[in-house]
Amino acid sequence: MASSSGAGTSSGKEVAGSDDKATRVKEPFQPQPEARQLELRATKVAFRWLTQGQMVPPLAKGQHKVKCNLCGANLVASDTRVWPHFTRKTNPCPVRYPELLHILAAKGHAIECKKTLRLIQLYRMEHNIPHDGLVPAIPEVEAQGDTVDAFIVPPTARPSRTVRTAEVDKEEREGVVEEGGGMLGTSAQGSAAGQKSGNLTRTSIKRWVTNDSQQRLDVAWGMHLFRHDDPFNYVRTKETHDLHNLYLELGEKRQRVKMPSLEVIRTVVLDIIYNKVQKDMHPLKAKWDNTGCTLLTDGSTDRRYKPVMNFIGADESGAILLKVVDVPEKKKIAVALAMMWDHMIRDIGVHRVNAICTNNAEVNKQAARILRRRTNRDISSIPWVPCATHYLNLLMKDVCELEWVKEVVQRTKMMVKFIRKHHNTNNLYTRCSNFLGNRP
């Protein structure tokens, strides 16, 4: 009887324990009062991003439910052991950011994760924060809008004697605060005694302080180049300077103009540019009456990877791109190519074309045979000249197919890849190549 009662008692405890566990798991999160949250944030820096909930029963021992405000994760921890949620090696908070980690490290929390330490190091380097202190070398200013003033931070004034400076800017010869003087940050306290005064120089910031219009223009240009993926060297071109001078001229005359529309640029302005290019090419084409030219053509693709055909006229003075024709894949046949060649010859002038030069493709050979059958003797007598470079490429491909050459080619490719993948080796190879190429 006693054994049965004892068994009943033990089973009753197990049931009670299981009920408490189920209640603990299913119990919803209940945050602490606002006063308690403010007290925790004032004493424990990690609670800036965490919210403490109810105590965990039955043997709490200071354990509370805690909810992360960033990722929404629920965890159980004491008041002093909540920060590992952001710094642990495995499964840390996925929404953590470098500033948060820097604050935790600055408060003295021990961080062992190498990845977390690297994030803190990069954050301190980016914001010019010493590794042994919390005072930035340059105070941070919150950026407000797309203005340069939000990103320019003047140097902080520290009480100290001034020293004479080199004459860099006549308007800024008032003196510079000696480096290491005054109230020092933690990072400079150890080396302040060994510093010596001397002539110091600094870059003038007068342009940024006195000219607000220049700031707005620089930011507008930077945003324009960034949004359209244009290179920064775009501002150095002659056309860009001409455009800037035109705007200055219109501003001096106080003439207000509208932004040109897409329709005007793609129609009227494009025709004007086309006529200007034709006018610039006219002196070069005039020589073709005496010397003639060679019509070069080859297939290519545009920016949208659509097939096109380029036509170039070349003579002793240089080459000129005459026309680019859209050629669908279905129209790359001998008859269509022969018709395009015929039209280009007539546009240039039959008496100006000395020869037609293309690659050694079979379709080009067939198009050349069709031209030779023309009834017009002037067109049928124009010779077709295959490209010598293409012939050499085909020859080298055939040579590389030989068994004793394949091994040499593979070793050569391996050496080229090795040199290009190692920067020091590549620099040495470039310097030696230039030296050997310039020797007498």
- 12-22 exposure pattern, b = at least 16 Cβ within 10 A, e = fewer: eeeeeeeeeee
Query: Pairing between strand 293-301 and 353-358?
Result: parallel
Give the pLDDT of residue 152. Answer: 52
- 406-416 exposure pattern, b = at least 16 Cβ within 10 A, e = fewer: eeeeeeeeeee
Helix (H) or strand (E) holding 321: strand 318-326
The fold for domain 290-393 equals Nucleotidyltransferase; domain 5 (3.30.420)
CB 71 within 8 A of CB 93: yes
The residue type found at 27 is E
**CB-facing half-sphere around the CA of 310: CA atoms within 13 A:** 16
CB 98 within 8 A of CB 113: no
CB 130 within 8 A of CB 185: yes
Residue closest to 416 by CA, chosen among 405, 403, 429: 429
CB 353 within 8 A of CB 311: no
Q: State how far the Cα of 197 lies from the Cα of 179, in Å rounded to an integer.
A: 8
Would you state the torsion angle of the CA atoms of residues 332, 336, 338, 344, taken in this order, to the nearest 10 degrees?
-100
Give the pLDDT of residue 382. Answer: 93
Please give the span between the terminal C-alpha atoms of the chain, in angstroms, as a whole number.
116
Give the pLDDT of residue 62. Answer: 75
Residue closest to 62 by CA, chosen among 41, 77, 44: 77
CB 325 within 8 A of CB 340: yes
Q: Write down the H helix ranges in 268-421.
A: 270-286, 288-291, 334-348, 362-372, 377-380, 388-400, 403-421
Give the pLDDT of residue 28. Answer: 84
DSSP 127-150: TT--TT-S--SS------SS-GGG
Q: State how far the Cα of 297 lies from the Cα of 27, in Å rounded to an integer.
A: 79
Q: Write down the H helix ranges in 66-128.
A: 84-87, 98-106, 114-126
Helix (H) or strand (E) holding 152: none
CB 405 within 8 A of CB 397: no
Give the pLDDT of residue 208. Answer: 57
- State both tokens at 426: 């590549």
Give the pLDDT of residue 355. Answer: 94
Give the pLDDT of residue 381. Answer: 92
Give the pLDDT of residue 43. Answer: 86
Give the pLDDT of residue 185. Answer: 43
Give the pLDDT of residue 366. Answer: 93
Give the pLDDT of residue 194. Answer: 44
SS3 390: helix
SS3 298: strand
Residue 67: burial class (beta carbons within 10 Å; 0-12, 13-18, 19+): middle
Q: Sheet harboring 384-386: ordered strands across?
A: 318-326, 307-315, 293-301, 353-358, 384-386
DSSP 52: E
**CB-facing half-sphere around the CA of 181: CA atoms within 13 A:** 15
Q: What is the pLDDT along the chain (440 residues), one digit of tens a residue?
A: 344 444 444 444 444 444 444 444 467 888 888 888 888 888 888 888 888 888 887 655 678 888 898 888 888 888 788 888 888 888 889 888 888 888 888 888 888 888 888 888 888 888 878 765 454 444 444 444 455 455 555 555 555 444 444 444 444 444 444 444 444 444 444 444 444 444 556 666 665 566 778 888 888 898 988 888 888 898 999 999 999 999 888 888 888 888 889 999 999 999 999 899 989 888 889 999 999 999 999 988 887 888 899 999 999 888 999 999 988 866 778 898 999 999 999 999 999 999 999 998 899 999 999 999 988 888 999 999 999 888 898 898 888 888 888 888 888 889 888 887 877 777 787 788 776 655 54
pTM value > 0.75: no
